[in-house]
Amino acid sequence: MNKVISLVLAASASALLVASPAIAQQANQSTQASGASYKNLTDKASSDYKAAKTACDANSGNARKVCVEEAKVARAKAESDAVAQYRNTPRELSKARKSVADAEYDLAKAKCGERSGSDKTVCTNQAKAARDTALAAADSGTPDGGAAATGQAQNQNNANPTAGSSTARTAVADTVITTKIKADLVKAPDLKALDVHVETVNGVVMLSGFVPSQTEANKAVALARSVEGVTDVKSALKVK
């Protein structure tokens, strides 16, 4: 009986020795795939940012500054989503969310620049308070901490503890939609030179500006509708 047990144990040990390299190889392949996927997302975030920033050159003054800051917010959020999917550790998440909070604060300050007097002071103070709240949330690990800076935070009181993380990965923020549309306009040969202003509120895109003909106006509307997260497109484009 003891011999039988010994043989069984020996066979099990041999099987484990044979399986261990295969398991290690699978784990290594999984890690490599995760790293590649993370890099793909961050590379795309960088590429989209460059395209959106180029599109901002169509604006001037504070409007251009706001446009660039919107592109930076979109990049920070895309990078944060990549971290949430592939580097989901408290330290990495906190760092990514702080980057989003800082980017949103810079955007809020740029928008405050359009105001004056006490109105501008109030706007700036609100932006600072929102950033402080977002940074505190990032430190504490509260889901979607950075979203507070733009007032687009999802409901964090949801009874489902995973809802915040799921929403963060699937929801497309207004700033991201705006940036994506601007980037796509630049990439389209017959639309890149158009003076089109893009604004998004709760998924509804508003296009304004001047175009050479109704054909370009229709193409711009169709392009905006094709972007993920867009619920409706309202066009105020005028033919020159």
Classify residue 19: in a domain, yes or no: no
Give tens-digit pLDDT for 4-43: 555 545 555 555 555 555 554 554 555 555 667 889 989 9
Percent of the chain with pLDDT over 70: 71
Count helices and strands (H / E) in the chain.
7, 3
Point out the least confidently predicted range of 51-65, 90-104, 121-135, 144-158: 144-158
Sign of CA dihedral 228, 233, 238, 239: positive
State the residue range of the domain holding 184.
177-239
Q: What is the rounded distance in angstroms from the CA atom of residue 55 to the CA atom of residue 83?
A: 27
In the numeric block, the tokens 């505190």 are attached to 136
**Model pLDDT for residues 130-175, shown as the tens digit of each residue:** 899 888 988 887 654 444 444 443 343 344 444 444 443 334 577 8
Q: Is residue 22 part of a domain?
A: no
- Average pLDDT value for the chain: 77
Domain assignment present for residue 118? The answer is: yes
Cα–Cα distance for residue pair 101/87, rounded to 1 Å: 19
Strand order in the sheet with 195-201: 195-201, 204-211, 232-239
Q: Which CATH number fits the domain that encloses residue 225? A: 3.30.70.2210
In terms of pTM, does the model score above 0.85? no
Same domain for 196 and 163, yes or no, is no
Q: How many domains is the chain built from? A: 2
**126 in the same domain as 213:** no
Compute the distance between CA of residue 48 and CA of residue 178 in angstroms, rounded to an integer: 12
With a pLDDT cut of 90, the percent of the chain lying above it is 17
